[in-house]
Amino acid sequence: MATGYRPEIIQRAFVDFIGSRLHPFWSLTRPKLRLIARQVLNDDLVAVQFEGNHAFKRQALDSDGGWHGGQHINLTVVIDAIYHQRYYSLVGLPKQPFYLQSDIDNSENSENSENKQSQSNIVTIAIKPQGLVSNYLTQQAPLGTIFDSSLPDGDFTLAQAKLDTQGANHLSSTPSSLLFIAGGSGITPMLGLITQALSQSHTVTLLYYSRMPLAETPFLKHWQQLKDSYPNFTYHFIDTEDPDSYLVGTRHLSVESLLALNLPLENTQIFVCGSQALLAGLYDAVQTITSLDMDSLKDKCSLRDNIIFERFGNLSHELAIDDNSHNTDNAKDDIAKQTVYLRGRQRQFDTNTTLLIGAEQAGITLSYGCRQGICQLCRCNKASGVVKNIETGKISSNGYESIQTCINIAMTDVVLDI
């Protein structure tokens, strides 16, 4: 009997269509999340908890052990009949007990037994309640609301670290030193990352900057539990309004505060998630340390090579441009104003920032999603001209190619097929 393509008698899309009419949470293929609880952690952060449907659990949890620490999901939120997409970091790891999941007040929906799902089917995010979508999720969306979701994704993970290994046959290799630096809501992806790193016997230090007192630090109970369980875990919480909590007398991240951690910085992988100012301060500090101690850095060009930053929500376009400008001799020319032509609309605008922001400043609406180069919703075709990717520093060719408007700046006059 011949083998090969065999069409489905009943296609899954049809089953999903019928199932969604019977119950909006049912789907064979589409991951969905149902809001089951939320809790105010402090004035800046609200924990929001979901349960996944069968498709989410099967695709995100049952295979490959679930998601990795530091990854995120893309939620589709419908507000006043308008679809919005936002990325949110996942708190913690799958299939592991997490105190927040038992401490969140579920009294609003305690009669609904469906909310008492296994730990492995629970998804937690922590959101700063500002902006249309975040305010809706943290304050307005009724418990039980169902959202379409992506599967967990993102490369802000331990896999990106240059971990210290001496080969597969050296079981006694020294665990790598890892430094996690966070500011404000940037603490959310760190819990999963740090828990995962400690389970792999790495030496871990957390440096967290916040405007909140120590008692209001998000996930404080969990940090204390980790400290009690892992002697190789150290944390420093800096309340920027309390001088008693400062490292070496400064509220800001500085050369002195990094050196005060007593870490072998040349052999330490640094994960950072926070504001543009925090990242800029870190870059300045490691650059200064590099210039003062080049002899001990051996083959490294800069300690900046050790930094991994969370891409989708914490790097501004302006900082990224400055960050890459040291690679060129004519940095000022990189951000000179260029003219961008929209061939399909017969319109043009001048810009020295990203194509997306430049268009918006000129009153022109372009498609976008995450605005950080991940979701691809801003992708379009460039007919001619040279652009520079501010995430990678890569300079394009002058010919026809597909680009993302949110992370590219014009190096010459550019024509877009829009």
Give the model confidence (pLDDT) of 357-413 as tens digits. 899 889 999 988 767 776 788 999 999 999 988 776 678 888 899 999 988 999 889
> Measured on CA atoms in the order 268, 273, 274, 279, is the torsion positive or negative?
positive
**What residues pair up with 273 in beta bridges, in sequence order?**
182
Containing 305, the helix (H) or strand (E) segment is none
State yes or no: pLDDT of 113 exceeds 70. Answer: no
Lowest-confidence segment of 246-255, 313-322, 338-347 by average pLDDT = 313-322
Mean pLDDT of 114-128: 71
Predicted pLDDT at 137: 95
Reported confidence tier of residue 7, pLDDT bands at 50, 70, 90: low
Predicted pLDDT at 231: 94
Predicted pLDDT at 116: 43
State yes or no: pLDDT of 114 exceeds 50. Answer: no
Lowest-confidence segment of 52-56, 209-213, 368-372, 412-416 by average pLDDT = 368-372
**What residues pair up with 234 in beta bridges, in sequence order?**
205
Predicted pLDDT at 98: 52
State yes or no: pLDDT of 212 exceeds 70. Answer: yes
Predicted pLDDT at 307: 87
Predicted pLDDT at 232: 94
Q: Strand 414-416 and strand 379-384: pairing?
A: antiparallel
Mean pLDDT of the chain: 79
* Closest to 27 measured CA to CA, from 16, 14, 12, 13: 16
62 or 380: which leads in pLDDT: 380
Highest mean pLDDT among 10-14, 125-129, 290-294: 125-129
Highest mean pLDDT among 140-144, 286-290, 396-400, 406-410: 140-144
Predicted pLDDT at 10: 55
Q: Strand 203-210 and strand 177-183: pairing?
A: parallel
Q: CA 123, CA 101: separation in Å to the nearest integer?
A: 9
Reported confidence tier of residue 109, pLDDT bands at 50, 70, 90: very low
Distances (CA, A) of 240 to 94, 236, 251: 32, 12, 5
Half-sphere exposure (CA, 13 Å, Cβ side) for 397?
Answer: 6
Mean pLDDT of 122-143: 91
Predicted pLDDT at 167: 35
> Measured on CA atoms in the order 400, 401, 404, 409, is the torsion positive or negative?
negative
State yes or no: pLDDT of 44 exceeds 50. Answer: yes
Q: Enter the tokens of residue 28.
A: 């064979």
202 or 1: which leads in pLDDT: 202
> Long-range CB contacts (< 8 A, 24+ apart) of 233-238?
233/194, 233/198, 233/204, 233/205, 233/206, 234/204, 234/205, 234/206, 235/205, 235/206, 235/207, 235/208, 236/205, 236/206, 236/207, 236/208, 236/261, 237/208, 237/210, 238/207, 238/208, 238/209, 238/210
Phi, psi (deg, nearest 5) at residue 298: 55, -115
Mean pLDDT of 27-52: 90
Give the model confidence (pLDDT) of 226-259 as tens digits. 999 999 999 999 999 999 999 888 888 999 999 9
Cα 315–226–183 angle (5° rounding)? 20
Distances (CA, A) of 324 to 8, 333, 387: 51, 13, 14
Q: CA 407, CA 395: separation in Å to the nearest integer?
A: 12
Distances (CA, A) of 176 to 92, 225, 300: 21, 22, 17
Predicted pLDDT at 11: 60
Q: CA 284, CA 281: separation in Å to the nearest integer?
A: 5
Predicted pLDDT at 111: 42
Q: Enter the tokens of residue 143.
A: 């418990």
Q: CA 76, CA 350: separation in Å to the nearest integer?
A: 33
Predicted pLDDT at 101: 42
State yes or no: pLDDT of 319 exceeds 50. Answer: no
32 or 20: which leads in pLDDT: 32
Q: Where are the beta strands (DSSP E) in 253-313?
A: 268-273, 307-309
Q: CA 136, CA 251: separation in Å to the nearest integer?
A: 33
Domains of the chain: 20-149 (2.40.30.10), 170-315 (3.40.50.80), 331-416 (3.10.20.30)
Predicted pLDDT at 320: 38
Mean pLDDT of 55-69: 81
Q: CA 72, CA 78: separation in Å to the nearest integer?
A: 19
Q: CA 71, CA 385: separation in Å to the nearest integer?
A: 35
Predicted pLDDT at 331: 35
State yes or no: pLDDT of 338 exceeds 70. Answer: yes
Lowest-confidence segment of 178-187, 207-216, 221-230, 314-323 by average pLDDT = 314-323
Rg (CA), the chain: 24
Mean pLDDT of 283-287: 86
pTM exceeds 0.95 for this model: no
Reported confidence tier of residue 9, pLDDT bands at 50, 70, 90: low
